Amino acid sequence: MSKPKILVTRRWPEEVEAELAQRYDATFNESDIPLSVAQLKEALTHYDAVLPTVTDSINAEVLSAAPLRCRILGNFGVGYNHIDIPAAKARGLTVTNTPDVLTDCTADIAMLLLLSVARRGGEGERQLRAGAWSGWRPTHLLGTKVTGKTLGLIGFGRIAQAMAHKARHGFDMDIIFYNRSQPPRDKIDAVQARQCASLEEVLQQADFVALHCPGSPENHHLINAERLALMKPGAYLINTARGNVVDSAALIAALQQGAIKGAGLDVYEGEPDLHPGFLELENAVLLPHLGSASRETRIAMGRRVLTNIDAFFAGQTPGDKVC
């Protein structure tokens, strides 16, 4: 019996690629350049499974491919807002993702951004590398103390809970959060958190606001000019969720005008294209979507995809089925 044909749209850790090649008739994107809409559409007519990432726009146009051979999209990543889920469901496609395995690493990056922007680490490194450091002095690059401050979380899923744990038990931070549903009581109590009645309440009270909400259509520009205006002038915004959750132009204006103190960003609208205004800001720490970028985590993510497609082709329901 022939092996199912699969396409891996970007390069994965070599250990996982070797496992895929052993178990499937696998094709890899050797150039590691994002595929076009036309290429993705063609892939759905030639492969039994396509394994996309956040860089692949699996939109309605792609999903209109005919004749449709693909039966499963094994997404490499926990977020799947780059996939048109209703359109995929309408075509009878199964979609899976990779939750759990990237929780701690993404929370680590959120804390890295928080600490870096509060203590002006990016500014300090740039100054040092430029040969502009004239030596220690009492007023040099004064930042904001983190320990004991209030961290406000927008969303209280796995990654938010992991960040709260690090912030509470590592930096004695007070935790407040807004979540559309009621999280388990034990998860709230574990970090002595307080649930707020609204997103606006979190924005008004927090010293650091960290976004941990899906990049869904209803969350598009969730953080806009009006909501940024609710934050404290000395507050910081941290985003490791999805770029479209924040109105980039509004955030840049708020940072330029001193409406908020700073921002730490790992994700952007339209990435890898970056709003040029961000590059002019000293009070923004910018990372190139490194949330899950540890070797251990990326291998675990790949193996999670492998487990999902193994189950699918064995006639079982994948454990991480989205639709």
* Cα distance between residue 48 and residue 211, in whole Å: 36
pLDDT number for residue 39: 97
Residue-wise burial string across 141-180, b where 16 or more C-beta atoms lie within 10 A, e elsewhere: eebbebeebbbbbbbbbbbbbbbbbbbbeebebbbbbbbe
Distances 103 to 5, 19, 164, 171, 303 between C-alpha atoms, Å: 30, 24, 12, 19, 15
* Cα distance between residue 45 and residue 49, in whole Å: 10
Q: Which residues are known to be catalytic?
A: 242, 271, 289
Q: Tell me the one-letter amino acid at 267.
A: V
Other CB atoms within 10 Å distance of the CB of residue 31: 9
pLDDT number for residue 1: 72
* Cα distance between residue 99 and residue 76, in whole Å: 10
pLDDT number for residue 189: 98
The long-range contacts involving 21-29, CB below 8 angstroms and separated by at least 24 positions, are: 23/306, 23/310, 24/49, 24/309
Could you list the pLDDT tens digit for every one of the 323 residues in the chain?
799 999 999 999 999 999 999 999 999 999 999 999 999 999 999 999 999 999 999 999 999 999 999 999 999 999 999 999 999 999 999 999 999 999 999 999 999 999 999 999 999 999 999 999 999 999 999 999 999 999 999 999 999 999 999 999 999 999 999 999 999 999 999 999 999 999 999 999 999 999 999 999 999 999 999 999 999 999 999 999 999 999 999 999 999 999 999 999 999 999 999 999 999 999 999 999 999 999 999 999 999 999 999 999 999 999 999 99
What domains can be seen in the chain, in order of their start residue? 5-101+295-313 (3.40.50.720), 103-286 (3.40.50.720)
Helices (H), 24-178: 37-46, 85-90, 103-118, 121-129, 158-171
| DSSP strand pairing (174-178 vs 150-154) | parallel
Other CB atoms within 10 Å distance of the CB of residue 130: 8
Token pair in block for residue 59: 């939109």
* Cα distance between residue 181 and residue 83, in whole Å: 24
Give 161's contacts (C-beta < 8 A, 6+ positions apart). Answer: 183, 187, 190, 191
Q: By the 8 A CB rule, do 318 and 96 touch?
A: yes
Distances 321 to 27, 45, 80, 97, 176 between C-alpha atoms, Å: 23, 22, 12, 7, 31
Q: By the 8 A CB rule, do 323 and 94 touch?
A: yes
pLDDT number for residue 161: 98
Q: pTM here?
A: 0.94
